[in-house]
Structure formats: C-alpha cells, structure tokens
C-alpha cells in the first residue's frame, strides 16, 4: 500500500514536496483534542501551523513526511507503511476502532515513536500510552529563560544523538513541564532542569529532578520524548532542530545503546562487557573465565560453556539492578536449549534469559521469574539485539531470630516495558546458590551452555 495518497485524502494534510520514494516515512500528527497550543494552530485549514512547517522544513530531503491534524490518517493499515510516528497532540485522540491497540502493538513490535512537548498531555485515560511515553503532563510551573543540564544519556563514552550537538548546558526560553506517573528507573534522561536557574519550589517532585527529554526502549521499538517545543522561537532554533532530529534518527535507526550508569552504582561489567577488577568469581571458584574485551573481540562478556556461573564478589540487599544481554542466534535449537542463561538476584531469584522472540509468555521463557510467574507482557527482542532488564529488588526481611517476616519482591522492566510489578517471591527459584534466603547476596549470571553475552551490568544499592 502507498501511504501518501491515502493520508492526503484527509483534509489539511501536507507532505514533504518531491520526497524520494525510498525515504523513511514519517507521520507528524498535531491533532488537539484538548488544549490547542498556538504553535500547532493553523492559520487556515489548508495552511500548515508553525510547528508543522518547521518540521517539514527540517526533515526535507531526509524523510518523507506527512504532516496532518486528522486522526483518520492513522489507521492499522497506514501503520504498516510507516517508519516513524511523531505526536505533538493533546487530549483523547479520536482514533478509529482498534487503532490505539494497533499503534501500541506497532511500537512494541519495532516501530519508532517520537513525542514532542504536549504528547505527554495526550491519552490520559490510556495507561499503556502514558507508560510508553514515560510521564504524564502535570503542569508547567516555569515559562521563562532556564538552564537545562545536558546528560550524555549513554554509558561508555559518547552521547545520545539527541544531545550530541549540545554543550554541558542549554539556555533557552520555553514552557517547562513537570510530570506525574514518571518513574525514572527505565528512562534514560537527556535534559533536566538546572535547579539553580529556576524556582524549583514551584514544582511537585520530592526528588527535585525535572526531566525535559529522555529516550527509552519499548520492546522491539524505540521511543524518544522531548518536552520542549511550546514556543515558535524554539522550533526555529538550530539547537532544537538538531535535538529533535537526533532523537528521531535514533528512534528509527538505533543503535541499541547502553544505558547511563547512575551515581553511586557499583559497575560489575562496563558498557563493552569488560569486568570490573575483582568484581567476579565463578560458582566453583576461580577468576573470571568468560570471553570479554580486551582479550576477546566479542562485544560483551560472553559465557563460555562449561566455565561456570559468574558470581559477583559484592553482595547486595535492596537495590536497583541493570543488566543488558544478547542471546545467540540458534535456529536449530528449541525450548530451553535456545540462548539460555539467567540473572539471579542475590544468587537466588532468577529472571530468565532465553531466546523467546515471537513466542507467548511462559514460566520458563524470557523475563519470567523462573517457575514462579510469567511476564505480564512479552517484550523480547530477536537474538543478536541487545536487551535490558531493569530490576527494582526488595530483599526479604527477617526478625532478630532469623525468621522471615516478608518475602523478597521484584519489579522488572524488560526492554523498557513493565513485566512484573512489585511481585512477592515466596522463595528461591531453581538452580540458585541455595534454598535459604538472605538479607544480602550476590548477583549471579548463569552459564547454561549457550554463548549469551552481557554488558553494562550495575547495581545501585537503595537501602
């Protein structure tokens, strides 16, 4: 199907002039079902708004863009022909029957989504959308000149493409949002408000972190969001255009980047898979024996079948854990023989690693709390692609006599998607370090006989 003629049937749609047929196809939707921002208000039905005109201009020659305010342009059929969907929208968008679910499935299945400014002020009644975007608009306490702190957004050096052209700070005048339903753990922050540049007492966040741009994985897809773009002058600025285009390009093309390491985290494997000094031993004793840079040209620390499980020398209680892994391509193998490994929190509670791409959830499949609970959502990527676990762990509690008073609890995001929400685990899973439970324990990466690779493994103690 050719998307362009279909979309142009919608009144007021406009496309990039003379776009080459093989350019990536982008739908830029600026429908306002709630508040209509002046920057997306059209002077007439057939004339582009300021934001639309700026977007068409900045993408000319690189993307085949359809700019429209008609929600009828977004259907299950047109999604098949799209590469990127960009929202600068408000309110409960009047999508056709089944289109919302089709959009969410499209992103989870590998689509690229970009949210601009008021995209977080959209679909309030749809938690899956709000979770995907990463936050819900909760007011704009500041509309003034502010300073934004610029974060690299990745581990291992370099910068995310959305901030590659910026300095350490960015001074601009715009409407600055705050958010609710905005957990920071699975988000990779790129811009945050410098608290010295504004009266942060006007905000609501207890942690004082006011993010203005981030990236995230979403299953097989990628999501970039920037809260900037209220004012026409912002859309006209070269800095904003480079910021937005960098985020769009990454959402479409990747790569799958290593997540930034927070202050205070204990790094066990770095972004290339190099082990930290003295960070690991093997379950049966002995030094680190998996393949890893710089001794190996393999990207990531690769399990060597028969070498044994890796066990961290440090132990942890309550913590936020981050693990990135890639399963090997083993098309002739089936079931548990297909890219099998496991992430054992405290060496006792396994979050399964397996090539389960394209398969339904199961107690023994990827992201399962092995044998205890299947993931709520299937978010697996195909073998060879880097995947992520972000795990918020609460250790079991014990009284003065050593009796357990509370189970361990796990919240798990797989490739950015919440798959276990504060799940109580009544005891250790199979093949861990023991059947006993402890207040503090190590992280274990399982050698199950497959060449699974790991990188960017870190633990942030929270208690």
Binning pLDDT at 50, 70 and 90, where does residue 11 land?
A: very low
Lowest mean pLDDT segment, chosen from 208-217, 296-305, 376-385, 448-457: 296-305
Predicted confidence at residue 19, as pLDDT, reads 53
189-238 tens-digit pLDDT = 999 999 999 999 999 999 999 999 999 999 999 999 999 999 999 999 99
341-387 tens-digit pLDDT = 999 999 999 999 999 999 999 999 999 999 999 999 999 999 999 99
Predicted confidence at residue 298, as pLDDT, reads 84
Binning pLDDT at 50, 70 and 90, where does residue 8 land?
A: very low
Q: What is the mean predicted confidence (pLDDT) over 426-432? A: 97
Residue 209, token pair as written in the block: 């972190």
Provide the CA 192 distance to its chain's centre, in angstroms.
17
For residue 206, what are the contacts with CB-CB under 8 A and spacing of at least 6? Answer: none
19-54 tens-digit pLDDT = 566 999 999 999 999 999 999 999 999 999 999 999
117-167 tens-digit pLDDT = 999 999 999 999 999 999 999 999 999 999 999 999 999 999 999 999 999
Predicted confidence at residue 6, as pLDDT, reads 35
Binning pLDDT at 50, 70 and 90, where does residue 334 land?
A: confident
79-95 tens-digit pLDDT = 999 999 999 999 999 99
**Domain-by-domain residue ranges, the chain?**
3-253, 266-461
Lowest mean pLDDT segment, chosen from 17-21, 112-116, 319-323, 449-453: 17-21
Predicted confidence at residue 255, as pLDDT, reads 97
Q: Please check whether residue 244 is in contact with residue 116, taking contact to mean a CB–CB distance below 8 angstroms.
A: yes
Examine the pLDDT at 9 and tell me if it is beyond 50. Answer: no
Q: What is the dihedral of CA 173, 179, 184, 190, to 10 degrees?
A: -20
Residue 224, token pair as written in the block: 């970039």
* φ, ψ for residue 76, nearest 5 deg: -60, -35
Q: What mean pLDDT is reported for the chain?
A: 95
Examine the pLDDT at 7 and tell me if it is beyond 60. Answer: no
Beta strand 169-176 with 112-116 is unpaired
pTM of structure: 0.95
- SS3 sequence, the chain? CCHHHHHHCCCCCEECCCCCCCCCEEEEECCECCCCCHHHCCCCCCCCCHHHHHHHHHHCCCCEEEEECCHHHCCHHHHHCCCEEEECCEECCCCCCCHHHHHHHHHHCCCEEEEEHHHHHECCCCHHHHHHHCCEECCCCEEEEEEEEECCCCCCCCCCCCCCCCCCEEEEEEEECCEECCCCCCCEEEEEECHHHCCHHHCCCCCCCCEEEEEEEECCEEEEEECCCCCHHHHHCHHHHHHHHHHHHHHHHCCCCCCCCCCCCEEEECCCCCECCCCEEECCCCCCCCECCCCCCCCCEECCCCCCCEEECCCECCEEEEEEEECCCCCCCCHHHCCCEEEEECCCEEEEECCCCCCCCCCCCCCCECCCECCCCCCCCCCCCCEEEEEEEECCEECCCCCEEECEEEEEEECCEEEEEEEEECCCCCCCCCCCCCCCECCEECCCCCCCEEEEEEEEECC
CATH number of 266-461: 2.60.120.560
Examine the pLDDT at 2 and tell me if it is beyond 70. Answer: no
CATH number of 3-253: 3.40.50.880
252-293 tens-digit pLDDT = 999 999 999 999 999 999 999 999 999 999 999 999 999 999
Binning pLDDT at 50, 70 and 90, where does residue 335 land?
A: confident
Examine the pLDDT at 169 and tell me if it is beyond 90. Answer: yes
């Amino acid at each position: 199907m050719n998307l362009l003629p279909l979309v142009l049937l919608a009144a007021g749609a406009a496309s990039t002039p003379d776009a080459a047929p093989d350019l990536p196809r982008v739908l830029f939707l600026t429908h306002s079902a709630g508040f209509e921002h002046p920057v997306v208000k059209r002077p007439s039905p057939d004339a582009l708004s300021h934001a639309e005109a700026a977007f068409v201009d900045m993408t000319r020659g690189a993307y085949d863009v359809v700019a429209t305010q008609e929600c009828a342009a977004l259907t299950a059929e047109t999604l098949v022909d799209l590469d990127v969907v960009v929202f600068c929208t408000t309110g409960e968008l009047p999508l056709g029957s089944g289109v919302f679910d089709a959009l969410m499935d499209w992103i989870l299945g590998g689509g690229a989504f970009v949210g601009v400014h008021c995209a977080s002020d959209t679909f309030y009644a749809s938690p899956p959308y709000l979770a995907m975007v990463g936050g819900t608009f909760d007011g704009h306490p500041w509309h003034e000149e502010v300073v934004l702190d610029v974060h690299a957004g990745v581990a291992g050096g370099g910068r995310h493409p959305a901030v590659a052209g910026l300095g350490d700070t960015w001074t601009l005048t715009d409407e600055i949002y705050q958010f609710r339903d905005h957990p920071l753990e699975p988000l990779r922050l790129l811009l945050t408000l410098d608290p010295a540049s504004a009266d942060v007492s006007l905000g609501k966040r207890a942690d004082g972190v006011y993010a203005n741009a981030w990236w995230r994985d979403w299953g097989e897809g990628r999501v970039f969001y920037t809260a900037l773009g209220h004012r026409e002058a912002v859309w006209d600025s070269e800095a904003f255009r480079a910021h937005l285009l960098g985020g769009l390009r990454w959402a479409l093309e990747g790569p799958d980047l290593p997540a930034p390491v927070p202050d205070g985290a204990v790094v066990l494997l770095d972004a290339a898979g190099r082990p930290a000094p003295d960070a690991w031993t093997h379950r049966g004793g002995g030094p680190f024996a998996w393949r890893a840079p710089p001794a190996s040209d393999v990207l990531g620390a690769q399990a060597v079948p028969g070498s044994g499980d890796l066990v961290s020398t440090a132990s942890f209680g309550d913590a936020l854990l981050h693990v990135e892994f890639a399963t090997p391509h083993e098309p002739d193998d089936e079931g548990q023989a297909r890219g099998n490994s496991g992430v054992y929190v405290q060496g006792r509670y396994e979050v399964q690693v397996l090539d389960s791409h394209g398969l339904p959830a199961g107690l023994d499949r990827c992201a399962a709390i092995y044998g205890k609970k299947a993931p709520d959502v299937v978010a697996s990527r195909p073998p060879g692609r880097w995947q992520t676990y972000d795990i918020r762990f609460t250790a079991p509690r014990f009284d003065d006599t050593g009796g357990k008073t509370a189970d361990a609890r796990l919240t798990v995001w797989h490739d950015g998607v919440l798959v276990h929400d504060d799940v109580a685990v009544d005891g250790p899973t199979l093949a861990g370090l023991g059947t006993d439970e402890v207040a503090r324990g190590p992280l274990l990466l399982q050698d199950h006989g497959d060449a699974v690779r790991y990188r960017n493994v870190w633990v942030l103690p929270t208690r």
